[in-house]
Structure 1
Amino acid sequence: MGLGLEESLRLTVAALMQATGESQRSVASALGLTQTQVSRRQSGATSWTLRDVDTLAGHYGVTALDLLSGPTRACEALPADRRHSDRVGAKGGGR
C-alpha cells in the first residue's frame, strides 16, 4: 500500500519547496493564488487541481508526470539552477 495521489502531491510540493528554498507565498504567486489557498492545498483541506499541477510543473521546470511520480522523482528532475543549494554554492557560500 502506497500513498494516495493527493498525499504524494502534497509531499512532492513540500519537497520541491525545500529543494528550491521557496515559501508558500512564492509558490502561491506563481500559481496566481493566495498563500492561504496554497496552505489549504498543502494541509489537505482543499485539493490541488489539474491546472495547479500543470502550473507547478512549469514553475519547477519538470513534467507533470515527474510531479505526480512523487518527491524523489520530482526532485531528481528539478533543473540544477532551481536547486537552493546550487544557488548558495554559486554565491560562494558552498564548499
Structure 2
Amino acid sequence: MSDAKQSETEYIVEYVDGPLAGTTERRILIDGKIDERIGAVAAVEGLESLFWYVAGEERTVGGEKYVKFRFDAPDSDPVEADHEDESL
C-alpha cells in the first residue's frame, strides 16, 4: 500500500496515560473515522487485563493522523493485582 493510501485508511494511537502510557499502535479508520473508545488487552503481574481508552486530541504529522487516547480507569480492569487473594 502506498504511503498516501495508508495515511487515508490508518491512524496512530498514542496511549498517553494508564498501563499502556508511552506506547503506540496503528489502527484502521472505519468509514474514515477513528474509534472513539478502544479496548486493549495487556498483562499486569502475569494476568491478562482489559483496559479501556477514550479518544482525545487529533493531529496530523508528516501526513499521518495521530490520536491521543486517555485511560478510562473506572471501566477498566484493576491495574494492580489484589494481593489479599494470593496464598502464602
- Structure ranking higher in helix proportion: 1
- Structure ranking higher in strand proportion: 2
Structure of greater Rg: 2
Fold match, TM over 0.5? no
State TM-score, norm by structure 2: 0.27
Q: Which has the higher relative contact order, 1 or 2, with Cα contacts under 8 A spaced 6 or more apart?
A: 1
State TM-score, norm by structure 1: 0.26
